[in-house]
Homo-oligomer: A and B are copies of this chain.
């Protein structure tokens, strides 16, 4: 899975019928060392109710279809967790409660 920040949304009227009603979020991958965005973006389906600005991780490829929301759908990226804490080399580098550290 890859760590990323929810930075936006995509709206589409004309789309493959199977993905009607799904929320499409734009994620920017982040470097966990600095918690900075990497200017590398992906559109992911949301299966956990993630919101703008939240740190998440998402699953790619066929694995992204293993959630209740994405099963059988043409999904190649699905958010599977909203991150509470990230610990690197024994130090807390991110805490959702306290924001970036």
Contact = CB atoms under 8 A, between A and B. Distances in A.
Contacts of A83: 10-12
Q: Kindly name the residue among A16, A18, A90, A93 whose own CB sees the greatest number of chain B CB atoms within 10 A.
A: A16
Q: How large is the interface on A (under 10, 10 to 19, 20 to 34, 35 or more residues)?
A: 35 or more
B80 A16 contact: yes
A27 to B, nearest CB: 10
Contacts of A90: 52
B66 A73 contact: yes
Contacts of A57: 10, 12, 24, 43
Interface of A: 1-3, 7-19, 24, 26, 31-33, 39, 41-44, 47-49, 52, 57, 59-68, 72-78, 80-90, 93
